[in-house]
């Protein structure tokens, strides 16, 4: 079962029951970020957990420029995860979108790979996300490095 929830002011993206990688690449490149899942679009990723195609809206809900910090962590079930802290703009946008889109799916894309496409169970208001779905600590570290590289590039462009 996949879901996004907001418990103890920390939103957690959980991918449960997955033994394999959830990553699948799209032919059309999109920047890393959080995207709403839609019924059809030119931006398609294969979810290897469900073996289904996931289509995303190409406009990100949260872009890398709205992520202040990314770290690798071991979550409560002893699985490797990425921890993201959003800036004030990202926190407001995510709260607004997850309030409006409860019951819909949101895709986590890093380096043009689908990491997860969980269901939004409730509004996410805390501005902190924990993303599970990587199968190893090394894989989580690699995604952290890739995301940090995009975050650094976005900061250079911003200033």
Structural domains of the chain, with CATH? 2-158 (3.30.1360.200)
Give whole-number Cα distances, 122 to 53, 82, 87, 95, 149, in Å: 24, 20, 20, 10, 30
What pLDDT, on a 0 to 100 scale, did the predictor assign at position 24?
A: 55
Written as six digits, the tokens of 9 are 């002011």
Residues 108-136 as b or e (16 or more Cβ within 10 Å = b) = bbbbbbbbbbbebeebbbbbbbbbbbbbe
* pLDDT 10s digits, 72-106: 999 888 999 999 999 999 999 999 999 999 999 99
Looking at every residue in the chain, the average pLDDT score rounds to 82
Q: Which residues contact 10 (CB under 8 A, 6 or more apart)?
A: 126, 128, 129, 130
Whether the predicted pLDDT of 7 surpasses 80: no
Q: Which residues contact 96 (CB under 8 A, 6 or more apart)?
A: none
Whether the predicted pLDDT of 144 surpasses 80: yes
Whole-angstrom Cα distance, residue 57 to residue 20? 25
Global pTM value: 0.79
Written as six digits, the tokens of 149 are 């590289």
Whole-angstrom Cα distance, residue 101 to residue 116? 17
């Amino acid at each position: 079962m996949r879901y996004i929830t907001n418990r103890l002011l920390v939103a957690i993206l959980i991918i449960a029951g997955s033994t394999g990688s959830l990553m699948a690449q799209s032919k059309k490149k999109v920047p890393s970020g959080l995207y709403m899942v839609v019924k059809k679009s030119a931006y398609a990723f294969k979810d290897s957990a469900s073996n289904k195609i996931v289509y995303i809206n190409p406009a990100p809900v949260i872009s890398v420029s709205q992520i202040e910090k990314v770290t690798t962590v071991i979550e409560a079930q002893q699985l490797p995860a990425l921890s993201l802290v959003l800036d004030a703009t990202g926190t407001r946008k995510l709260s607004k979108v997850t309030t409006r889109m409860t019951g819909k799916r949101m895709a986590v894309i890093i380096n043009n790979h689908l990491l997860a496409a969980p269901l939004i169970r409730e509004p996410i208001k805390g501005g902190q996300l924990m993303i599970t779905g990587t199968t190893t600590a090394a894989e989580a570290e690699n995604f952290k490095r890739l995301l940090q590289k995009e975050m650094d590039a976005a900061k250079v462009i911003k200033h």
